[in-house]
Amino acid sequence: MKEGIHPKFNQVIFLDASVGFKFLSSSTKSSNETMEWEDGNTYPVIRVDSSSASHPFYTGKQRDTETGGRVDKFKQRLAQKK
């Protein structure tokens, strides 16, 4: 591998502020915001919009989207006119 062309890979804390869930992982992203982790070390914090703790698919609060598409709506309108 060539030297100096790869991004720096380090430990960061990903924080889902909507539910207060956080986890430590490796990433090439960085941040000026830092937080102390359970092991006593300080790591950069990356705020995320959703995680497995708040995403509807993983929490079981997913809504059914059985509303039908354009073709179904057209067929319904056609059936009403007959």
Average pLDDT, the chain: 83
Rounded to two decimals, the pTM is 0.62
Residue 8 lies in a domain: yes
Q: With contact defined as beta carbons under 8 Å apart, do 35 and 17 qualify? A: no
Residue 28 DSSP class: S
pLDDT (0 to 100) of residue 64: 56
Kind and range of the H or E element at 75?
helix 70-81
pLDDT (0 to 100) of residue 50: 77
Residue 38 lies in a domain: yes
Residue 4 lies in a domain: yes
Letter for the amino acid at 75?
Answer: K
Residue 77 lies in a domain: no
Domain of residue 55, residue span: 1-62
The total number of residues written for the chain in this structure: 82
Give the CA distances from residue 55 to residues 4, 36, 44, 52, in Å, rounded to whole numbers and listed in that order: 37, 25, 23, 5
Count how many domains the chain has: 1
Residue 72 lies in a domain: no
| Residues paired with 27 in a beta bridge | 10
Residue 46 lies in a domain: yes
